[in-house]
Structure 1
Amino acid sequence: MKNIRLRPLVTAIFLTGCSTQAFAHLGLNLSVDIRSLTMGNAVTADPPGISAIHFNPAGLTKLKGLQTDVQGIIADFSVQREFSAPVGYNVFGYSDDPLICNDTADNPSNLCTDYKDSVSGDVEYASLYVPILKKVVDLGPGWPVLAPTGGVSYNPPGSKFTFATAAYAPMVAGFGAEDGNPGNYMGQQIAIERITYLSPSIAYQVNDELSIGASVGMSYNAMALKTDLRFPNEMIGVLRMIDESVCAPFRNNSNVITDLLLFGICNADEGMNPFGKFGKMEVSLEQSLSPSYNLGLMWEPTEEFGFGMVYQSSAKMRMKGKYFIDNANAPRELIKGLNSSATGQILAAILGFPGYIPPTESGLIAMDLEYPAHFQAGIKYKVLPDLQVNFDVGWTDFKAWEKFKFEFDRQISALKIAKLLSNNVTDQSLALPLGFKSPWSWGIGVEYSANDRLTLRAGYEPRASSIPDDKRNTMVPINNAQLYGLGLTYRFDEDTDIDLSAGYLRSKDNIPANTSSLANQTGVDNLLLNPYAGLNVKTKTDVIILGINYRTRW
């Protein structure tokens, strides 16, 4: 491996709502503060400088006078995706999937005679959604993601109050690939971001041992997706069998009788294929102002021990945007053929099928989304005068993503078909059950003061996945992950510090065939999202993060 439809609308919207938001968990807290990352994000009892706005606003009372904090974070990543066929692979008796089969198109057999050992669909570059352009921008192969942040705090002389604000990115993630990449059926381009551009904060030192604080975050939230679509489904296999075995004798000899008996299906110029491309979909959603708040407490009864906790509220959003669908010819021909026959028209009317599927569809879309709440608590303890250990536990309410609901500005032909299979679908809305879970996680960090100027740090954070085992997929190339961090602080003088930090996140996942309903489930009920039905899927993700932080007091 190298490093670095029902109908298209229903599936692509599902991809957008479910997978891009789940992918956000991969980027959570990786771009807020590089010093915290090197401590395994175990900083609730000892929050770092002005970034305490996010990690524990009570920690702002540690900042005296007027202080500024500027940092730059660079992230480079590799996402590898591998597909292979298990023994006995087939979809309704067909296994000549060009994704994993070397057979030529003129091979008369429906079964593959020469499987590829494996197929790589690796991510090729990073992608970001640019608000002004309202589009996803690919950074190009080899280009890392850059996330500059900054903040300012002020503690009036003799006051117990500290005021602060900062701009930072609680969540940034995105990737892309060129046309023809095997991984494009679960996202050719994906981008999601939450950027806090203003965060007025206040902290109060109750006494020498206790501090409290609060911050209000005003954030921009966006997500975007472009994806190819295909549906290796048993019912699509039936349609292929009808096209190749039943309709073949009537191709050039159709008449009124055959049209009535076969519902006009054989009049289609192109037949359905479970391995064929069904189209392409682009979706973008954003909200310019998404407010939330953080509440923090810090208790330090001795110089050796401290305790801290923070609650980061949820943020309920009404995201709005646009969608665009490029429908492939085969499904359009199926509906066209169905409506060319009197019996086909009756059947379509009974089922509520559309009379026509256009080459392209576009319009406005909206969805209610809740950015999940988070709680974290931790301690710091000096086991030696120069050696401090931090330990945190945290919980994120990803169960709030149990169901997403999308609303459209018009009736969608795809939804007219999908509503036959689910009570969660109407002509203009789609509610998708996701079943996410709310995991607990922990992190540990060690800080050693080598001398008055130099401090060394190391941290570890095993990240528990919020995605159930039966929902894993290649668009979220992570299940469980490990985050490692190393860093140092050099004090130039009593008012100026420089942090140099590095982090490494890794994750491997194995999704055996028919184990995930969001990737490779087989059967007649996998229409919505299983582009790799029946295939074994493996993913491997590596993220390298480098950063520099400059802090000074005026």
Structure 2
Amino acid sequence: MLMRIITLKNCVFIYGIVLLFNVCTSNAAMHEQIGPLNAKSMAFANTVTADPPGLMSIHYNPAGLSNFKEGQYVSINGLAAAFSIKAKFNKGAGFKSFTDPVPDPLDGKEGQNANALVYLPGADTTLKMPALVAPSSFQIASREKGSKWTFAFGTYIPYAGGWTFEGADNPVRYQCQYMYQEHILAAAPAASYQLNDSLSVGASLGIGISAMGMGMDMRAPSDLLGVIKPLGEFLKLFSAVPDGWGIGPYDDIANIDMGLNDDFTPSFNLGLLWKATDYLNFGMAYQSATNTKLEGKYKINYSKAFQTTINWMGTDPLAMVIAQILQLPTYVPPEQKGTCNTEFTFPQMLHFGVMFRPFKPIKLLCDAHWANWSKAAQMRIQFDQNIPLLQLVRLFDAGGSNANTMVMNIGLQDTWHFGYALEYEFSDSLSFRLGYEQRKSSVPHNKYSLILPLPDLDFYACGFSYKQKNGVVIDGGAGAFINTSYIVRNNESTMLNSTDFSNMIYNPYAGLDLEQSTLIYAGSLTVTMPLKIVTDIMYDLYKKYYPFKK
């Protein structure tokens, strides 16, 4: 009885600690479910559908839970990650500045991310970290003697990413001073059933928490604002407008901050594993879409020049008439606060895998992955009041925005990509692993932005597995996601640098070329063992340090 109590308390304690630290490792996964969730999937570069990774089969292919023998097992994963995103801007070939001959002040400037950023649910706050080192997932499983059922439970983060671009001179601030996006599975019960010696099926249910936040400075380089400020300088000669009237194309207009969350976002996974022969496995997994309804708060601070320009319209009779006809704002406060909401869908996914063993010590693996990102082609953020900036933009923007709704046509598209892996068994206890995956970005080139700054990436990985006689398995993995040069020329993206007058939301780098480099480094260590080893250790500690001994 005492051992059962210790076992229960121990599992609850470990679960609570890992759930707390899970949110501190969200950047390792990044947007688009890039990051592997344990050491084996890291070493195999996510190529694990036909050779599922231990208890993390809960996510990758629940049918893989049937690979566990009778007994109870526990697994914990640790993660370390660091990343570098650099963005450099230069004037586009043949483009004349909107204030020619005065150049865009961002011409020739370069910005780099400063910190990782994670959102802490419950505390409703964010945490900055230069790098990430923490436990990242926890699972337990049980299979009774003679049973074809295996039951498991886990907590992990399938989607997450967050970063900051700090400093008043960082050019990236016009699309991303900071950004985070998370989907945390606080509870993921799972089960698999072994139909026969070669075929297993499985399923898992995810009870999730989702969050999203961003902050940015805003400007609107365009031909229109290229005229407004010189016009203001001219009108001031006749005292027709006040000092400070007029906004230039490279002037700051506003700063916006928002944070939203949804505390209940369910999902499910299905899996099938067929061991056709001793040397050939096939796997298939389906991960459902996760529909989120995010609600939260926002704050907008307006620049002095924007306030002066718009507020003048409320004092001039002719301007007031025009504003009434066109439904334009006539007053801008220094700050607006309120509530906002949006919906976002993390996509359904399909994974197909094959494992072939041409010789006993060698495994060759290949996976094909499909993700239905086109369901998230548009982001619509609705505010609780009219926003003066949106009241102006709706006259020129063809994207569907109105006075209290900002529409960003991010244009995410479905992706297909492949992964490849190799394992060599040096002995019954030691294996070495290699993996490669060509990650296709869901963001098309003509919609690329620094809000989601992840282009196509090459993922190179390696790792090992060490099995001890007492049933303890130690897996290690390390990898790098690399894209050393991704270039978006002027006017190639309608979410970054379009000079088209109808693309007012949102092109703060109109007239500029972007060159970006992306490097993400990650390492992972997973320890899986029979639960009895943990309880024996806890019992020995209990006997040694229990303060109320007779």
TM-score (norm. length: structure 1)? 0.87
Contact 1:91 1:233 in 2 (8 A): no
Contact 2:97 2:104 in 1 (8 A): no
User: Displacement, 1:339?
Assistant: 2.1
After superposition, residues 54-453 of structure 1 pair within 5 angstroms as 54-64=59-69, 65-97=71-103, 99-100=105-106, 118-140=108-130, 143-144=131-132, 146-180=134-168, 181-244=170-233, 246-251=234-239, 254=240, 266-267=241-242, 269-421=244-396, 422=398, 424-453=400-429
Look up the SS of the partner of 1:514 in the other structure: coil
Which whole-Å deviations, capped at 9, do the CAs of 1:327-385 have from their partners, x for residues lacking one?
11111111112222111010000010122111000110111221111100110010111
User: Displacement, 1:526?
Assistant: 3.1
User: Displacement, 1:278?
Assistant: 1.1
State which drifts further: 44-53 or 429-438. Answer: 429-438
Change in CA separation of 1:95 and 1:155 when aligned onto 2, cut-off 3 Å: farther
RMSD: 1.9
Change in CA separation of 1:209 and 1:280 when aligned onto 2, cut-off 3 Å: same
CA distance in 2: counterparts of 1:550 and 1:348, whole angstroms = 66
Contact 1:94 1:237 in 2 (8 A): no
CA distance in 2: counterparts of 1:74 and 1:464, whole angstroms = 23
For 2:37, the equivalent position in structure 1 comes to: 32
Change in CA separation of 1:546 and 1:423 when aligned onto 2, cut-off 3 Å: closer
Change in CA separation of 1:423 and 1:448 when aligned onto 2, cut-off 3 Å: closer
User: Displacement, 1:147?
Assistant: 4.8
Aligned length: 500
Look up the SS of the partner of 1:276 in the other structure: coil
* Aligned-partner residue type, residue 90 of structure 2: S
CA distance in 1: counterparts of 2:401 and 2:128, whole angstroms = 34
State which drifts further: 406-415 or 145-154. Answer: 406-415
User: Displacement, 1:248?
Assistant: 4.1
Look up the SS of the partner of 2:468 in the other structure: strand
Look up the SS of the partner of 1:493 in the other structure: coil
Look up the SS of the partner of 1:36 in the other structure: helix
Which whole-Å deviations, capped at 9, do the CAs of 1:272-328 have from their partners, x for residues lacking one?
111111121101111111100001111112110010101100011111111100111
For 1:517, the equivalent position in structure 2 comes to: 494
* Aligned-partner residue type, residue 95 of structure 2: Y
Look up the SS of the partner of 2:411 in the other structure: coil
After superposition, residues 405-554 of structure 1 pair within 5 angstroms as 405-421=380-396, 422=398, 424-507=400-483, 508-553=485-530, 554=532
Change in CA separation of 1:128 and 1:187 when aligned onto 2, cut-off 3 Å: same
Contact 2:466 2:474 in 1 (8 A): yes
TM-score (norm. length: structure 2)? 0.87
Contact 2:84 2:113 in 1 (8 A): yes
Change in CA separation of 1:462 and 1:52 when aligned onto 2, cut-off 3 Å: same
User: Displacement, 1:76?
Assistant: 0.8
Which whole-Å deviations, capped at 9, do the CAs of 1:448-489 have from their partners, x for residues lacking one?
110011011000000111111111123333321101110001
Contact 2:236 2:243 in 1 (8 A): no
For 1:14, the equivalent position in structure 2 comes to: none
Unaligned runs of 5+ in 2: 1-27, 533-550
Which whole-Å deviations, capped at 9, do the CAs of 1:89-111 have from their partners, x for residues lacking one?
3343435346246xxxxxxxxxx
Change in CA separation of 1:38 and 1:366 when aligned onto 2, cut-off 3 Å: same
Contact 1:477 1:509 in 2 (8 A): no
Change in CA separation of 1:37 and 1:475 when aligned onto 2, cut-off 3 Å: same
Change in CA separation of 1:396 and 1:204 when aligned onto 2, cut-off 3 Å: same
Look up the SS of the partner of 1:407 in the other structure: strand
Contact 2:36 2:46 in 1 (8 A): no
Contact 2:49 2:60 in 1 (8 A): yes
State which drifts further: 220-229 or 268-277. Answer: 268-277
State which drifts further: 267-276 or 341-350. Answer: 267-276
Unaligned runs of 5+ in 1: 1-22, 102-117, 255-265
Look up the SS of the partner of 2:366 in the other structure: strand
Look up the SS of the partner of 2:381 in the other structure: strand
Look up the SS of the partner of 1:277 in the other structure: coil
Contact 1:190 1:225 in 2 (8 A): yes
Change in CA separation of 1:281 and 1:511 when aligned onto 2, cut-off 3 Å: same
What is the percentage of aligned positions where both structures have the same residue? 29
CA distance in 2: counterparts of 1:24 and 1:69, whole angstroms = 19
